[in-house]
Amino acid sequence: MDNAVPIAQGERDERFMRQAIALARRALASGDTPVGSLVVRAGSVLAEGVEAVRARLDITAHAEIIAVREACRAACGFDLSACTLYTTAEPCWMCSFAIRQARLGRVVIGRPTPVIGGGGPPHALLLEPAVAGWGPPPALAWGVLSGECALLRR
């Protein structure tokens, strides 16, 4: 018989967001924008991403893109519908496109990213239902450890 006590969704979200914050601090220490992301499946971390645009001289090396890329490799495919992406900052439009293409089931966001964020106005790509081939939008959870995520500065 399994005596494990189930972890409430809020506690699980905070635990994984703390790991994303630690990744964001690594990005900050290397001179990049402090964003950390991880993809979780069945309660286990499948992939991590540390923002590395400056470190790699690669404009696409956003934490979310790195985490999604590695998760697709680990899952041997592009269906991450059973996974949750945790990210310290609202994904930009580029990252939102990758999230939708990989069919992530849920995205947990620490803090909003005004103007270029893909989860809210003016261009909510994460929620847009009308793009053929994208599948259903992911469920979004906003503001998990938002205060700690907002304190991350470059």
Q: Which of the two residues, 6 and 99, has the higher pLDDT score?
A: 99
Give the global pTM.
Answer: 0.93
Please report, rounded to a whole number, the percentage of residues in the chain having pLDDT higher than 70.
94
Active site members: 64
Instruction: Name the packing angle between helices 63-75 and 9-29 (round to 10°).
Output: 120
Sequence-ordered list of residues with C-beta below 8 angstroms from that of 105, at least 6 positions apart, any chain:
80, 81, 82, 83, 84, 138, 139
Strand locations in the chain (E): 36-41, 44-50, 83-89, 106-111, 139-142
- Could you give the CA distance from residue 19 to residue 94 in angstroms, rounded to a whole number? 23
* Mean pLDDT of the region 76-102: 96
